[in-house]
């Protein structure tokens, strides 16, 4: 069973060495960059001609720059493209769903500005606006997937947990026991492979009792899943009982102050990366403001006039 | 019914970095009514081997042949094997559910496969899956439960409230209920106390006496000594010895395979090394040994 997100690969690249807290920060910044609007808000230009291509041209151009940045990070971090393509496998159903809906029913303020590619005799049509909108959403999702994949394949799960713990620290001022959340996350991460192995064993055991997990209608499938879920839950409870006793015996105190064997350290290179990230964020916010407020497209900075 | 294996190879995670060869060219023939014990270090390929017997794992190379079934993951080989054969066979070899009716596999710690709210429902589950009617399934389940020594007081109990040994007997009954001709068990006595162990082995011996083929993976050499007719030693994905238990203890250095020598055998060897004059070859129980000692002592006294 492959999980959607990439497994951690223990390599020695600058991205791997980066502080986990910074990587989470970078993930958030680049995701924000994915979702900023990079288009003029007006769709009709001064001569009264609709600019629907211009609208999307700027967006796609900027997202293209972002994709290039992410691509470079992928190369530096030696993230496998195979696992990236594999993770895309998980969302193709969603993409088809989006395609069907957005191509036929584009989001718009008034129907007059729609630009049909084909109009069917019964009044339905496929619109340029829908196709471009759909591409826009899909591109954003793919970029986000790539970002999370980079994070999970370059950062050990425990490091992610420590980083999340660090981000949650302010909550402890409100007397929220953040260390318990961290413990829960790290235990959950620790037991994913164990439970996968257990479920595979149970599936095999039920198969030899004649269960076919792939065949049958929905009712048969529900029945066969029950034969997996119930034993899995039973063994989950017995594991958690054993685990809690084992932790108790070794002196675990939920509200006590905890120290870590591995301490996250912020290095000089991390500071440099932090500054680069801020510059990137600034650049994208600048592009966003320019397009939204001053109606200047990206290429117009280079003296190229006109819309698409 | 004979089970034949021809040059079976099995590789875990074949296309990945962490690929590992579990079976490396294993061939064997198991006869009807045999009681086979498979022993070997952990990781020697025992569990992988028995999982190929009912097609839970398909060999990467080579094949297992049981009656009309050919179990292999090699599509080219399978096509060759099934050539010119009838349609029914092709259908049977597509998904192996009919095979699993014939070859029942009881996993290690089988109590983890229990899921129903009552013992009888859980045992009936297998036969129902294999297409028997509800009445038939119930009769089969009752028979299986009595075979493992559980009476009607247990039928309506929740399997989760039983003791470890009882749970295991229910799980074994779950496999027996479909009346398989071959029963494969992966460490049936692991984690049981001595009484539980003896009870389980008694059930298995009875089944063997009824003509069923039993294949048992075990680390417990007393099981091998007392119950097995044939013993197979596996190491690094290969069968390194196939012999009868007595010969195994006499001829094979068990420590090489991390196997323990039973006390009785150790004692016999010590006697031999210390110049015991009696005939130790034929002795297989403590009573025989006592008789032999008395015989020699008596003859010496007489002499």
What's the rounded Cα separation, in Å, for the pair B261 and B46?
Answer: 19
Whole-prediction pTM value?
Answer: 0.72
Instruction: State how far residue B171 is from chain A, nearest Cα, in angstroms.
Output: 10
Within 10 A of A242 (CB to CB), how many other CB atoms are there? 10
A130 with A211, same domain: the answer is: no
pLDDT at B122: 92
Among the partner residues B56, B95, B160, nearest to A208 by beta-carbon distance = B56
- Which residue from B minimizes the CA distance to A201? B107
pLDDT at A47: 57
A251 has pLDDT over 70: yes
Q: Same domain, yes or no, for A124 and A33?
A: yes
Pairing between β-strand B35-40 and β-strand B213-217 as defined by DSSP bridges: parallel
B→A contacts (Cβ < 8 Å), by residue, are 51, 54, 56, 95, 97, 100-101, 104-105, 107, 110, 112-115, 125-126, 129-130, 160, 174-175, 178
Q: With b meaning 16 or more CB within 10 Å and e meaning fewer, what string describes B259-278? A: bebbebbeebeebeeeeeeb
Q: Is the pLDDT of residue A231 over 50?
A: yes
Residues above pLDDT 70, as percent of chain A:
86
Give A278-304 pLDDT, tens digit per residue.
999 999 998 888 877 777 777 777 766
**Structural domain contains residue A53:** yes
From the centroid of its chain, how far is CA A236?
28
What is the pLDDT, as a whole number, of residue A45? 55
Closest among B118, B157, B120, B169 to B140, alpha carbons compared: B120
Q: What are B144-158's pLDDT values in tens digits?
A: 998 888 888 999 999
Q: Are residues A269 and A300 in the same domain?
A: yes
pLDDT digit string (tens) for B190-216? 888 888 888 889 889 998 998 999 999
Query: Residue A117: helix, strand or coil by DSSP?
Result: strand
Cα-flanking dihedrals φ and ψ of residue B188, to 5°? Answer: -65, -20
Asked if A12 and A90 sit in the same domain, the reply is yes
- The pLDDT value recorded for residue A3 is 47
Question: Which of A202-206, A270-274, B295-299 bottoms out in mean pLDDT, i.e. has the lowest?
Answer: B295-299
pLDDT tens per residue across span A96-124: 888 787 777 666 655 556 667 777 777 77
* B113-151 residue pLDDT tens: 888 899 999 999 999 988 899 999 999 999 999 888 888
What whole-number distance in Å separates Cα of residue A126 and Cα of residue A114?
10
SS3 A116: strand
Residue ranges making up the domain that contains A196: 183-254
A167 in a domain, yes or no?
A: no
Q: Taking CB atoms and an 8 Å limit, are B54 and A208 in contact across chains?
A: yes
The ipTM, to two decimals, is 0.81
* A55 and A133 fall within a common domain: yes
Sheet holding B69-71, edge to edge: B20-30, B3-12, B61-66, B69-71
Domain boundaries, chain B: 3-259, 262-303
Which of the four pLDDT bands, split at 50, 70 and 90, describes residue A306?
low
Interchain pair A209, B174: CB under 8 A? yes
Closest in B107, B129, B178 to A205, CB measured? B107
Could you tell me the two tokens for A221? 């499938």
Minimum-distance CB partner of B115 among A208, A212, A227: A227
Per-residue model confidence (pLDDT) at position A279: 93
The contacts of residue A5 (CB under 8 Å, 6+ apart) are: A87, A148, A149, A152
Number of domains in chain A: 2
Interface contact flag, A215 B114, Cβ < 8 Å: no
Digit-coded pLDDT (tens) for A62-101 = 899 999 999 999 999 888 888 888 878 878 888 888 878 7
Query: A2 or B284: which carries more pLDDT confidence?
Result: B284
Same domain, A90 and A65: yes
Chain A CB contacts of B178 under 8 Å are 209-210
Region A128-152: what's the mean pLDDT?
86
Q: How many CB pairs under 8 A join A and B?
A: 55
Lay out the sheet containing B35-40: strands in order across. Answer: B103-106, B182-186, B213-217, B35-40, B230-235, B238-243
Say yes or no to pLDDT of B111 above 90: no
Residues A44 and A74 placed together within one structural domain of the fold: yes
Q: Name which CATH class applies to B3-259.
A: alpha beta
From B256, B260, B233, select the one nearest B40 (Cα to Cα): B233
């Amino acid at each position: 069973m492959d999980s959607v997100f990439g497994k951690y690969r223990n390599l020695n690249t600058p991205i791997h060495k980066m502080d986990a807290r910074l990587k989470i920060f970078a993930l958030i910044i680049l995701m924000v960059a994915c979702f900023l609007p990079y288009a003029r808000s007006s769709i009709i230009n001064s001569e009264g001609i609709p600019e629907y291509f211009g609208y999307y041209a700027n967006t796609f151009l900027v997202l293209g720059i972002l994709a290039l940045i992410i691509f470079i990070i992928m190369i530096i971090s030696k993230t496998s493209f195979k696992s990236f393509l594999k993770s895309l496998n998980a969302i193709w159903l969603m993409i088809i769903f989006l395609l069907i809906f957005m191509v036929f029913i584009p989001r718009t303020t008034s129907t007059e500005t729609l630009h049909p590619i084909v109009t069917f005799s019964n009044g339905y049509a496929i619109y340029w606006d829908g196709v471009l909108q759909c591409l826009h959403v899909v591109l954003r999702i793919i970029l986000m997937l790539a970002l999370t994949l980079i994070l999970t394949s370059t950062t050990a799960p425990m490091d992610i947990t420590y980083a999340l713990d660090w981000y949650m620290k302010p909550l402890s001022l409100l007397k929220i026991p953040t260390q318990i959340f961290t413990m829960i996350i790290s235990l959950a991460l620790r037991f994913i492979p164990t439970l996968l192995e257990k479920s595979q064993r149970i599936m095999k055991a039920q198969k030899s009792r004649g269960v076919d997990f792939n065949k049958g209608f929905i009712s048969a499938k529900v029945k066969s899943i029950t034969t997996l879920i119930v034993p899995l839950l039973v063994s989950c409870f017995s594991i958690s009982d054993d685990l809690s006793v084992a932790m108790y015996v070794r002196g675990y105190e939920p509200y006590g102050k905890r120290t870590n064997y591995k301490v996250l350290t912020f290095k000089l290179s991390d500071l440099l990366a932090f500054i680069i990230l801020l510059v990137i964020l600034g650049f994208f916010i600048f592009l966003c403001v320019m397009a939204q407020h001053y109606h200047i497209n990206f290429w117009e900075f280079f003296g190229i006039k006109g819309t698409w | 019914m004979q089970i034949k294996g021809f040059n079976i190879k099995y590789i875990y995670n074949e296309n990945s970095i962490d690929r590992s060869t579990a079976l490396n060219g294993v061939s064997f023939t198991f006869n009807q009514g045999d009681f086979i014990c498979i022993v070997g270090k952990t990781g020697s390929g025992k569990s992988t081997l028995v999982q190929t017997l009912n097609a839970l794992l398909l060999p990467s190379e080579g094949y297992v042949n049981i009656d009309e079934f050919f179990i292999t993951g090699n599509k080219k080989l399978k096509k060759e094997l099934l050539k010119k054969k009838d349609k029914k066979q092709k259908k049977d070899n597509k998904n192996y559910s009919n095979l699993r009716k014939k070859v029942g596999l009881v996993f290690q710690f089988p109590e983890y496969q229990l899921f129903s709210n009552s013992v009888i429902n859980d045992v009936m589950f297998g036969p129902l899956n294999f297409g028997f009617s509800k009445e038939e399934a119930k009769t089969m389940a009752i028979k299986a439960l009595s075979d493992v020594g559980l009476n009607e007081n247990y039928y309506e109990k929740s399997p989760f409230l039983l003791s470890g040994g009882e749970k295991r007997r229910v799980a074994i009954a779950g496999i027996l209920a479909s009346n398989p001709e071959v029963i494969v068990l992966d460490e049936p006595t692991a984690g049981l106390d001595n009484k539980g162990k003896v009870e389980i082995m008694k059930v298995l011996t009875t089944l063997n006496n009824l003509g069923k083929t039993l294949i048992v993976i075990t680390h417990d050499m007393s099981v091998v000594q007392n119950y097995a007719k044939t013993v197979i030693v596996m190491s690094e994905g290969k069968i390194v010895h196939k012999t009868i238990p007595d010969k195994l203890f006499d001829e094979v250095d068990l420590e090489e395979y991390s196997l323990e020598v039973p006390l009785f055998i150790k004692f016999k060897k010590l006697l031999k090394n210390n110049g015991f004059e009696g005939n130790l070859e034929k002795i297989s129980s403590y009573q025989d040994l006592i008789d032999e000692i008395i015989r020699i002592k008596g003859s010496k006294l007489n002499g």
